[in-house]
Amino acid sequence: MTATLPENGRPEPGARPLVEIRGLDVGYARRREVTPAVIGLDLRIDPGEIVAVVGESGSGKTTTANAVIGLLPAGGRITAGSAVIDGVETAGATERALRPLRGRVVGLVPQDPMVGLNPTRRVGAQIGEAVKLRGVRGPAVGAEVLELLGQAGVPEPELRARQYPHELSGGLRQRVLIAIALAGRPKLIIADEPTSALDVTVEKRILDHLTGLVREQGISLLLITHDLAVAADRADRVVVMRDGRIVEQGDPRVILGSPREDYTRQLIAAAPGLAHGGRVVPRFDVRDQPAPEPILTLTGVSKTFGAGDARRGQRGFNALDGVTLSVPRGRTHALVGESGCGKTTTLRIALGLEAPTSGSVVLDGTEIAGLSWGGLRPLRRKAQIVHQNPFAALDPKFTIKQSIIEPLVAMRVGDRRGRHLRAKELLDQVALPASYLDRLPTELSGGQRQRVAIARALAPSPDLLMLDEPVSALDVSVQEQILRLLTDLQTELGLSYLFVSHDLAVVAEISHTVSVMSRGRVVEEGPVAEVFTNPRSPHTRELIDAIPGQRTAAWAGNGKETLLTANGS
């Protein structure tokens, strides 16, 4: 099945490459016009090698992966070049020729585990299907399914195999998808942004597990990611792509240590974990400064969801248990923790969208816990929210201007002309041209949409912005731009932020103070500079360990090679 490998799991030099792509052009045909997505790509993957392809959205990295497995979306086709996989030419190959490759030679771990599994079939059956394709029959199938689930790190495989995908968490679903990819005993696994939809801690566990598995079984891995830090931590070779072309490739140490291209340098600078040599370096140190008056204070806030409440199932009965935190005026307070720790519930209570079971919420000197909807309305001008997913947060039928002025219309602020001027001013503040006023959200990129969402939140001139994972859905390089915009707006307008995130590297870039949450409680709090450099809670430590870029940090720490300009360390 797998080629006999030397002891260290690495192939002997000169072995036949598993994947050999030469001069590959891939384009998408639309209305008789072919838009190139990949241009003149050369890529080689040896048996047992881990190759990471890094690039922003639209760089052609996913198209490359799809071309390798012959699963280009409708309209996509290979227009030139060759892609030989395990001795089979896939460029121009028929479905019949490609099918034996899929599953048996190349396994795929898709991008979003939430939608990667058939919702109407049991998990076990979906894995079993792939096992049966190898000709396994009878009770052996079930046994192998359980073994695969075990290998993929799924606890209680007997129980899980009988469940449907919606009964599993995102992390577990991704592990099931890994089990499916393993089921065909492939020589290569393509992992297409396998964890970008997951928490950092889950991301780290799953990627560590996956790389461990492929090393153990001598499988090659093609890891597609937008995060250079994730790639650098795991790959034998990093390939940086931009606009369908390879910008540069090589050993991650060389790429990170002495990047030849400007673009690679930008990517390094954008990855918060890499920018400081893989260490968390808080941007703001407020340890010795007196805290300003708080604009928002939560004291002993608890929330209990009643039996039968749909939200109860997410995590236990007590969603929040005595949460106390405060956001100092003009500063950023971060709320961090894994999914389901109560961050979003806290945010909803702070906004007055949800009533706490007990405790007090004071916004700008007014107690809002227990206020009626009507009583809350005047206070809505003071606090606004920016959501996680900019693709879902804007009404697709509204123009940008309509979206931005909507809060003003709802609150009856200003007249037609005043609102138009305000919209222009707001767009200017978020660094978008005024010509965008009449555009629709679909014409904008993710980062631009998030800028619009920020502009909309700023429209009623609030003092406090609640930022619910505002950059988690964005590419690393775009993340950095949005974070810089938020910091600039804070200085310019004197805003206060409550910043919810699971990514400590991002938090370090923007926050002054932080509360770490776990299972509905605040387990640690204080200035970021204190908490991140000297964590007391194991939960905080785990979150810090999950920040990508650690392997790089280890290299830098060993001092064997000077990887980065040592300004951060």
Partner 1 sequence: MTRYIVGRVLQAIVVLWAAFTVTFMILYLLPADPVKLQLGAAGIDEDSLTAEQVAALKHEFGLDKSIWGQYWDRLTGALTGDFGQSLTQHAPVMELIDQRIGHTLLLSATAAVLSLVVGALLAYLATFVRFNLLRVFLSRLPSLGASFPQFFIALLLIQYFSFELGLFPATGTAGFKSVVLPAVTISLLTSSLLAQVLIKSFEETLRQPYVVTARAKGLSRSAVHLRHAFRNAALPAVTLLGVLVGLTVTQSIVVETVFTREGIGRLAQQAVLSQDVPVVLGIVTVAAALFVLVNLVVDLLYPLLDPRISHGRAGRVRTPDASVEVTSI
Smallest gap from Cβ 166 to partner 1, in A, equals 5
In which residue are the tokens 């007014």 written?
366
CA distances for 515 relative to 135, 333, 498, angstroms: 53, 8, 10
CA distance 49 to 427: 47
Token couple for 555: 């290299």
Please tell me what DSSP assigns to residue 565.
-
Q: Which CB atom, from 195 or from 513, has the smaller least distance to partner 1?
A: 195
Q: Which CB atom, from 25 or from 468, has the smaller least distance to partner 1?
A: 468
Smallest gap from Cβ 461 to partner 1, in A, equals 31
Smallest gap from Cβ 115 to partner 1, in A, equals 5
Q: Which CB atom, from 211 or from 266, has the smaller least distance to partner 1?
A: 211
CA distance 457 to 407: 8
Smallest gap from Cβ 2 to partner 1, in A, equals 17
Smallest gap from Cβ 130 to partner 1, in A, equals 4
Total count of residues recorded for the chain: 569
Torsion of CA 178, 22, 240, 37, to 10 degrees: -80
Smallest gap from Cβ 87 to partner 1, in A, equals 17
Neighbouring CB atoms inside 10 A of 433's CB total 9
Q: Which CB atom, from 318 or from 533, has the smaller least distance to partner 1?
A: 318
Which residue, 107, 86, 106, 90, is CA-closest to 98?
90
DSSP string, 155-177: SSHHHHHTS-GGGS-HHHHHHHH
Q: Which CB atom, from 105 or from 255, has the smaller least distance to partner 1?
A: 105
Binding site for partner 1 (CB under 8 A): 69, 71, 95, 99-104, 106-108, 110-112, 114-121, 129-130, 133, 155, 164, 166, 168-172, 175, 177, 180-181, 183-184, 198-199, 201-202, 205, 308, 310-311, 313-315, 338-340, 344
3-state secondary structure of 270: helix
Quick check: 26 and 35 in contact, CB under 8 A?
no
Q: Which CB atom, from 544 or from 553, has the smaller least distance to partner 1?
A: 544
Q: Which CB atom, from 48 or from 107, has the smaller least distance to partner 1?
A: 107
Neighbouring CB atoms inside 10 A of 209's CB total 16
Torsion of CA 392, 393, 395, 400, to 10 degrees: -120
Smallest gap from Cβ 16 to partner 1, in A, equals 22
